[in-house]
Amino acid sequence: MIALTSRTLYTPTERLDDPVVIVEDGSIVRLGSRTDVNLPSNVEIIDFGNDVIAPGFVDVHIHGSAGYDVMQSSGDARVGFEQFLARHGVTTYYPTTVAAPLDFTQCALERLADMIEGDAEKNSIRSGRAQPLGIHLEGPFLSHARRGVHAAEDLMSPTVELFDKLWQASRGNIRLMTIAPELEGALAVIAEATKRGVCVSIGHSDASLSSAREGVAAGARHATHTFNAMRRLDHRDPGILGEVLTNQSTTADVIADGIHVDPTMVELLLKAKGHENVALITDAISATGMPDGHYRLGAIAVELKDGKCLSNGRLAGSVLTMDRAVRNVMEFTGANLQQSLRAATLNPAKIAGAQRKGALAIGADADFVVLTNTGEVRTTVIKGVVVQ
């Protein structure tokens, strides 16, 4: 049993001053101010001084980092990747696929399912690693017109039968799926995926406003990397962004690296949707945390140069980290640390349906990030184990 203390804690919706959090067997068992919580005699106290305790970051859209790509099979590289995430405050992540030949995608989904289901939880925690909780299927149901770097030959028309093949390959571990709602057959797939508990996200889409609304009516409730790989907003043709920005029953995520989206547009998104409806993602690839050079995004060759990941002149993911994204939102929009933290913790956890993640409360997993007042990561705690 341990007790964590600091000057400030964000749940993230509430602020506690002089907090104490008691952790036992990887879960939070007591939470309150130091004056209100009686510490057991056998508790080990870890004091983080003037720093801020917050929920661990949740990244629902990430392709890799530290030289590792989630669609490859190297277990050794995965260890370094998950340790890298933990150093940047991420305690939970959703490995994200890219469009690829069907057999390659199925094999990748099977490997990811093995990783999620067979993860030796205690061993992973002891080694200071972020934990995978589900899969984000990005592709193959994407628009040719807005496919970005996803290979055209690997895009497929959505059918319930094909979705079921991917679902079976993942053994039901798909938690999010990006789809272009205007594609023929998309509405039936959206409805079926929603029925199976998948958060369906509209993206990589050239949808009109009416097509986007039909997708939401069928069950879609989120938007993938808003503004990127979407029909542009026009005053006479609002398109998919007209629905994303105005429908308060939907959530949206954004790559706040200052490269994919201008800082002013990040501010616009937060003003339109509210801080409770926006999630930060990294869309990070294997080049993240690495020097300039050549890397992979699935089967796609990518060059990292001067902070940009490019493939044939197109942006191909990012080298953003979640802690940097939190600080960027503060810089871009004037949001305070608590508001920015919500977009990296509670909001993505809710989107993915991760009930014990993203918020600090009794019964939640003891996943924390310890930060300075300006958002610099000091320490990460995963299931109550401190990662140095």
Measure the CA dihedral 167/173/175/176, to 10°.
Answer: -50
**DSSP classification of residue 281:** E
Q: Is 6 part of any domain?
A: no
Contact at 8 Å (CB) between 341 and 12? Answer: yes
pLDDT of 122 above 70: no
In this prediction, residue 208 carries a pLDDT of 98
Q: Is 79 part of any domain?
A: yes
Contact at 8 Å (CB) between 55 and 87? Answer: no
Q: Is 161 part of any domain?
A: yes
Mean pLDDT in residue range 117-122: 64
Q: At a CB cut-off of 8 Å and minimum separation 6, what does 178 contact?
A: 136, 137, 138, 139, 141, 142, 201, 202, 203, 204, 224
Q: Is 32 part of any domain?
A: no
Give the pLDDT band (50/70/90) at residue 369.
very high
pLDDT of 128 above 90: no
Domain span including residue 164: 57-355
User: What is the C-alpha to C-alpha distance for residues 207 and 229, in angstroms, rounded to an integer?
Assistant: 11
| Phi, psi torsion values for 233, nearest 5 degrees | -70, 130
**DSSP classification of residue 154:** G
Q: Is 208 part of any domain?
A: yes
In this prediction, residue 181 carries a pLDDT of 98
Q: Is 45 part of any domain?
A: no
Query: Percentage of the chain with pLDDT > 70?
Result: 97
In this prediction, residue 119 carries a pLDDT of 67
pLDDT of 133 above 50: yes
User: What is the C-alpha to C-alpha distance for residues 229 and 279, in angstroms, rounded to an integer?
Assistant: 17
> pLDDT tens for residues 338-356?
999 999 999 999 999 999 9
Mean pLDDT in residue range 111-115: 94
Q: What is the DSSP string of 21-62?
A: EEEETTEEEEEEETTT-PPPTTPEEEE-TT-EEEEPEEEEEE
Contact at 8 Å (CB) between 179 and 141? Answer: yes
Using the structure block, give the residue that is written with the tokens 């294997």: 286
In this prediction, residue 123 carries a pLDDT of 52
User: Catalytic site residues?
Assistant: 283
pLDDT of 120 above 50: no
Mean pLDDT in residue range 160-179: 98
Question: Poorest-confidence range of 34-48, 154-168, 317-331?
Answer: 34-48
pLDDT of 187 above 90: yes
In terms of pTM, does the model score above 0.85? yes
**What is the average pLDDT value for the chain, to the nearest integer?**
95
In this prediction, residue 156 carries a pLDDT of 97
Q: Is 366 part of any domain?
A: no
Using the structure block, give the residue that is written with the tokens 């990747």: 81
Q: Is 102 part of any domain?
A: yes
Count of the separate structural domains present in the chain: 1
CATH code where residue 300 lies: 3.20.20.140
